[in-house]
Amino acid sequence: MKAAAAVTSVDGLVEKDLVDGAAAESLRPVEEAFAVRLTPEVLQQIKALELGDPVFAQYVPQLRELDHWADELDDPIGDDAHEKVKGLVHRYPDRVLLKPTLTCAVYCRFCFRREKVGGGAPGLTEAEMGAALDYIAAHSEIREVILTGGDPLVLSPRRLEAIVARLAAIAHVKLLRFHTRVPLVEPQRISPALLKVLRLHPATRVVIHVNHEAEISPAVAEALAAMVDSGVPVLSQSVLLKGVNDDAATLAALFQRLAALRVSPYYLHHLDKARGTAHFRISLKKGRELMAALRGRISGFALPAYVIDIPGGFGKVPVNADHVLEISPGRYEIADPWGRRHRYSE
Ligand X SMILES: *Cc1c(COP(=O)(O)O)cnc(C)c1O
Mark 60-99 with x for binding to ligand X (rule: CB under 6 A) and - for no binding.
-----------------x-----------x-xx--x-x--
The single residue of 11, 84, 95, 174 carrying the catalytic annotation is 95
Collapsing DSSP to helix, strand or coil, 298 comes out as: strand
Angle at which helix 157-168 crosses helix 126-138, to 10 degrees, equals 20
Residue 181 interacting partner from ligand X, ligand SF4, none (CB closer than 5 to 8 Å by kind): ligand SF4
Catalytic-labelled residue, pool 114, 177, 281, 316: 316
Residue nearest to ligand X (CB): 91
Instruction: Identify which of residues 30 and 96 has a Cβ nearer to ligand X in the complex.
Output: 96
Closest approach of ligand X to the CB of residue 98, in Å: 10
Question: Can you say whether the dihedral through the CA atoms of 111, 309, 259, 54 is positive or negative?
Answer: negative
Of 57 and 88, the one with the shorter C-beta distance to ligand X is 88
Classify 277 as helix, strand or coil. Answer: coil
Contact with ligand SF4 (CB under 6 A): which of 90, 209, 269, 270?
209
Q: State which of residues 90, 91, 99, 181 lies at the interface with ligand SF4 (CB under 6 A).
A: 181
246 is catalytic: no
The Cα-based distances of 331 to 196, 313, 334 in angstroms read 48, 19, 10
Distance CA 138, CA 277 (A): 39
Shortest CB 209 distance to ligand SF4, Å = 6
- Name the catalytic one among 11, 84, 92, 242: 92
Q: Is residue 269 near ligand SF4 by the rule CB under 6 A?
A: no
Strand, coil or helix: 37: coil
Please tell me the distance from the alpha carbon of residue 243 to that of residue 308, in angstroms, as a whole number.
19
Instruction: Give the long-range contacts of residues 193-196, CB within 8 A, separation 24 or more.
Output: 193/157, 193/158, 194/153, 194/157, 194/160, 195/226, 195/227, 195/230, 195/232, 196/157, 196/161
Site residues for ligand X, 119-148, by CB under 6 A, read 146
306-345 mask for ligand X (x: CB under 6 A)?
Answer: ----------x-----------------------------
Q: What is the total count of residues that contact ligand SF4 (CB under 6 A)? A: 11
Residues in the chain: 346
Which C-beta is closer to ligand SF4: that of 307 or that of 324?
307
How would DSSP label each residue in 47-106? -SSSTTSTTHHHHS--GGGG---TT-BSSTT--GGGEEETTEEEEETTEEEE-S-S--SS
Minimal distance, residue 18 CB to ligand SF4, in Å: 18
Closest to ligand SF4 by CB, 111 vs 142, is 111
Site residues (vs ligand SF4, CB under 6 A): 104, 106-108, 111, 113, 117, 150-151, 181, 209
What residues are annotated to the active site? 91-92, 95, 104, 108, 111, 113, 272, 309, 316
